[in-house]
Structure 1
Amino acid sequence: MSTAKQEIMNLLATMPDDCSLEDILYKLYVIAEIKRSDDHVDAHGTISHTEAERRLNKWLNP
């Protein structure tokens, strides 16, 4: 498991030299949101496709 500092250094190594601060911040935001989602799945699990369709059906077919 890498540290946050290592992850940032790896990210910077893959980005072009002329990238903007906004580009870097956006990539960091995306990485943080993916990690947050993974943590949520680990803590709460997921639902099946069939269950998702059942729950969405009331919104899609009123």
Structure 2
Amino acid sequence: MTPKQAVLELLDRLPEDCTLEEIQYRLYLLQAVERGRQDVLEGRTLSHEDFVRELKARRLRGAK
């Protein structure tokens, strides 16, 4: 599906009386999900264990 097709499908699902802010928010979510999918496809992910380890390390560095 092309980005234009995804946007048109999104717009078709929204109620007729939705606000511009709602449309912008939904577009933001669509873009964020697409970026996440691309990250997964390109191997830019962390396991849960690695994430927890990194979070703890950042907390320790910030506590000094």
TM-score bracket for the superposition, by shorter chain length = 0.7 to 0.9
Gaps of 5+ in 2: none
Match of 1:12 in 2: 11
Match of 1:50 in 2: 49
Gaps of 5+ in 1: none
Match of 2:22 in 1: 23
TM-score by length of 2: 0.72
**What RMSD, in angstroms, separates the aligned Cα atoms of the two structures?**
1.8
TM-score by length of 1: 0.74
Higher RCO (CA 8 Å, separation ≥ 6 residues): 1
State the Cα deviation string for residues 20-59 of structure 1 (Å, max 9, x = none). Answer: 1221111111101111122122213322222222111223
CA distance in 1, matches of 2:46, 2:3: 30
> Which amino acid counterpart does residue 17 of structure 2 have in structure 1?
D
How many residues in Structure 1 have an aligned counterpart in Structure 2? 61
Aligned-pair identity in percent equals: 34
